[in-house]
Structure 1
């Protein structure tokens, strides 16, 4: 007793949620096509492995990009010795250019406004430290990424106030919902310091349209609160509509830009989570200065900066990579969602991300979160698929599950699809009660009506590696 601090021993990490429990179930019994074919398939990890072959081929053709090769060792001393927390200028320039490219070159980013961080996790915590005090709060639309509860609040002691979004309007964020959440916090004596949005959305796989983004900017400007736009999935858009960055909206709507900050990372768009490249881009010079000082606790290694700068400065490679990843994501998304549609399982229509929002409400005996957990345990322990239940994303309605589809090879995907289709068909045979929900009538489901550009639907050979690695985040105890 008393040996460890209260922060170290409290439950702020959120590891006791179903989201992390699913990872533990996978870690204790991971699927392998030959060594453990009956193991749990990891569909709870939003990792982009579909274009590793493109990156590997680039690395083979550019050995000088690494200081650990014969061709690159000439730069070893300078890179190994140098560690300025501002970041290498070549790195910041390359990242700024890449951010503009992933946003259709409709906006430009100033390298001087870039602050590096140890992954998006570190970036989210740093921006929280910079603009909020313990006890202050951020509004966050639901459903939202479970680890925000850890990243934004655990060590900062900042609160999250959910903005409830519902399936009746496809989980779209509305000003009515924002006003209600803001007023609820005010009534509770909680000071709201900002609004935290995730665009494209994790877990929905959807993007905010121009009018919604304009309304958000007007809202935060009127309230005088900050806006943090997490855009780490910006380049994972594989169907129309195109992604619109909050930076583009700032050119169209009058607003105090000092209130706006963008989070970015190479973990999703480039599939490099192990490189721990997180970015804060702020229009507020004071925030940039503060965040730079705090970045000393989570810098990106200069070796990584050096390699990334070289890779992202190759315009031909970047163009080819972004085009190919969109096509492969579209094909994978189409294959899985249509396969599920064939047995009556729908999902929210989506156009981005490494996952989709699966609708299993009709498999619940009753529309309760208790029944959602029962169904989830069956899927984890009997079907052997780690999909994440909606309540771990703070979803307001039971029966929704996030399914990640880009972290496996084709063979594993086919096995996962067969497992869930078999489960659904067996559920029908055993007459699992199916409830009719009045909100279902308004829901726009993906089914076979989804149409992406034909070029995105051309079958291709996908060559991500298998077997899937163990979860890097949580190990079974």
Structure 2
């Protein structure tokens, strides 16, 4: 028997049925466009190329080589089967000790071993998504807010807001200073939130930045930490791209800054994962590292809802404990990212398209402002829809990252093989050349029309000047030139 309700949503929870997930964003719409018509070199060569997914597929050959050479690391091989039972049964939800030790050690290596991390402060979660939500639950109540510098990752709207009821309040950063976070911008956002009776509980920063691909320098980090301490609010640092820095200057973790400054460490928390640095998003390995003992204890209880499987923990512990492999991977991955980034940015420069100078991440911040018909959100959306439909590239519009300036797009470059990369670059370049040609043609046409209108207007004026009633000495049209013509 089937019951039909006039409003099915009334039978469901408000959290489940609200639009807080943010799936209606152009960021996710681009993915849907790709999913409905995915590029394949032979089965669908005219399909959409996915350039909206920040995935690191450039170094899987190193991973594959290590797995082949270390079959005991997995409990699902003949060599590792003897350990199957011990790993498959219930484990302490604090995580396998060898896993926490290995992750802590890896976090130190990624940061140049200038700082160390305490394995007992590592709390597991289901990827960075779960880690961010866990932090939000620990630090804020529904209605409270985190300040977030713009542009920022669209998934934060889902990760921190959807189920927690927490708000995100933008700190507007601008291209005039390369989108740097300034003390003035932080103060302005904080004051604006207070004016609207919003309680600010923290500041969330991403370093390296998604979508900018830039790193925060020491001065900015010190300024940010000083600001949060003055306001007595939390500082949450998303450092999931720490090992993707491929050119100088090097990455500086907030863990280094708190060693240099007098501050309340209880207010500092780091979110990390292996999804970007190692290219393991499917493993769902996220980490909350807090300097606050109470937060660690609470987060550990909450981690029951998003634990990492012990099979994954066992494999990761073995891999990250191999110093020789880790050192080689970090170095070689950076080289591959630098090469790929250079190919894309130099290729675009050949057709006059620039991007924000960057040295980290799996993407770059492309400047398409010159291709907009006008500097508006509507024009950006029109351009984005054209890019999806014509060159068939899923690049993400800046507005989906809450960018205040239309015309910027995030372009992911590490989630494809070399041949697909070359095709994607050809498509972008051809599109730009065609768009500029159309602009030039339109400008030429408009110039011709404008010139014609000026010519007609001048002839009409000349005719009027020849009319006797316009020849009064009091007329503004009387001039020596007019008299000379007569």
TM-score (ref. length: structure 2): 0.89
* 4+ runs deviating over 4 angstroms: none
Q: Deviations over 1:89-145 (max 9, x none)?
A: 000000000000000000000000000000000000000000000000000000000
**What is aligned with 2:20?**
12
- Higher fraction of helix: 2
**What is aligned with 1:130?**
138
Q: Distance in 2 between matches of 1:409 and 1:84?
A: 40
Q: Distance in 2 between matches of 1:423 and 1:137?
A: 41
Map 1:198-209; keep pairs closer than 5 Å.
198-209=206-217
Alpha-carbon contact 2:371-2:436 (below 8 Å) kept: no
Q: Distance in 1 between matches of 2:438 and 2:389?
A: 19
**What is aligned with 1:438?**
none
Selected match of 2:272 from 264, 270, 293:
264
**What is aligned with 1:107?**
115
Q: Distance in 2 between matches of 1:255 and 1:23?
A: 42
**What is aligned with 1:288?**
296
Q: Distance in 2 between matches of 1:84 and 1:399?
A: 49
Is residue 223 from structure 1 mapped to residue 231 from structure 2 by the alignment? Answer: yes
Selected match of 1:381 from 378, 389, 400:
389
Is residue 118 from structure 1 mapped to residue 118 from structure 2 by the alignment? Answer: no
Selected match of 1:37 from 31, 41, 45:
45
**What is aligned with 1:251?**
259
SS at match of 2:406: coil
1:311 is displaced (CA, Å) by 0.1
Q: Deviations over 1:289-331 (max 9, x none)?
A: 0000000000000000000000000000000000000000000
Q: Deviations over 1:261-303 (max 9, x none)?
A: 0000000000000000000000000000000000000000000
Map 1:48-447; keep pairs closer than 5 Å.
48-431=56-439
Q: Distance in 2 between matches of 1:84 and 1:38?
A: 50
Q: Distance in 1 between matches of 2:255 and 2:292?
A: 13
Q: Distance in 2 between matches of 1:429 and 1:283?
A: 56
SS at match of 2:248: coil
Alpha-carbon contact 2:74-2:315 (below 8 Å) kept: yes
Q: Distance in 1 between matches of 2:42 and 2:373?
A: 36
1:4 is displaced (CA, Å) by 1.4
SS at match of 1:346: coil
**What is aligned with 1:448?**
none
Q: Deviations over 1:407-441 (max 9, x none)?
A: 0000000000001111111112222679xxxxxxx
The count of aligned residue pairs is: 434
Q: Distance in 2 between matches of 1:15 and 1:324?
A: 35
TM-score (ref. length: structure 1): 0.90
RMSD: 0.8
Q: Distance in 2 between matches of 1:248 and 1:172?
A: 20
SS at match of 2:11: coil
Q: Distance in 2 between matches of 1:382 and 1:342?
A: 21
Q: Distance in 2 between matches of 1:422 and 1:67?
A: 49
1:82 is displaced (CA, Å) by 2.8
SS at match of 1:431: helix
Alpha-carbon contact 2:51-2:413 (below 8 Å) kept: yes
Alpha-carbon contact 2:274-2:286 (below 8 Å) kept: yes
**What is aligned with 2:454?**
none
1:84 is displaced (CA, Å) by 1.4
SS at match of 2:170: strand
Larger of the two Rg values belongs to structure: 2
Q: Distance in 2 between matches of 1:72 and 1:408?
A: 32
1:57 is displaced (CA, Å) by 0.7
**What is aligned with 2:452?**
none
Q: Deviations over 1:214-256 (max 9, x none)?
A: 0111110110000000000000000111000000000001100
Alpha-carbon contact 2:73-2:80 (below 8 Å) kept: yes
1:66 is displaced (CA, Å) by 0.3
1:14 is displaced (CA, Å) by 0.2
